[in-house]
Amino acid sequence: MTLILLIFAALIVALQIALTFTLKRMLDLIAATRDQVDALRRRVHSLEQERDARVPPPSALFTLAPRAEPAPEPQHEPAFADAPEHIGSGNSVPGDFPVLHEPVSAPSAESVGAQVRELARQGLPVRDIAERFGLSEAETELMIRLRQEPY
């Protein structure tokens, strides 16, 4: 009976040793995997920084400058040699397409900017402001930040 108990005790000790070695090996594999994941994260972060360094910031993509004089109107050439000289009712120029000659009542840039900034102060999201005025979100952000007043 004692012999059987000793054999069982030896088996239990052997299983504990095997389990300990297996767990140690698994922990080493987990640590190695964690190191690989950390190295990959660092690599991705460095690649993102390199990409961001190559791409100019949005403010470098365009510049704002006042227009000294109105842009000249483009000269239109007839699209086809056999195009009729007068198209539609008397609103057309010979060799050109009809043009609607109604004054456009567009609000000034200053008033649009003031309205945009006022809506931003009221807490309206930039996306909603941009949709309201038919602007891009970047233009709206720029208008808000150009004349931002200190609080």
Which residue, among 112, 148, 146, has the nearest Cα to 130 in the 3D structure? 112
Mean pLDDT of the region 100-107:
59
Q: Please indicate, yes or no, if residue 72 is contained in any of the structural domains.
A: no
Question: What confidence tens digit (pLDDT) does each residue in 6-30 have?
Answer: 999 999 999 999 999 999 999 999 9
What's this model's pTM, rounded to 2 decimal places? 0.32
Q: Which of 56, 71, 93 is the last residue of a domain?
A: 56
Would you say residue 89 lies in a domain? Answer: no
Residue 83 lies in a domain: no
Judge whether 66 lies within some domain. Answer: no
Residue 5 lies in a domain: yes
Query: Cα(26)–Cα(29) distance, rounded to whole angstroms?
Result: 5
Residue 38 lies in domain:
1-56
Split into its structural domains, the chain has a count of: 2
Q: Which residue has the higher pLDDT, 128 or 75?
A: 128
Residue 122 lies in a domain: yes
Final residue before a domain boundary, out of 38, 56, 74: 56
Q: In the prediction, which pLDDT does 60 show?
A: 56
Residue 124, domain CATH: 1.10.10
What are 51-90's pLDDT values in tens digits? 877 766 665 555 666 666 666 666 655 554 444 554 444 4
For residue 52, being part of any structural domain is answered with yes
Exposed, middle or buried, 114 (CB in 10 Å: 0-12/13-18/19+)?
middle
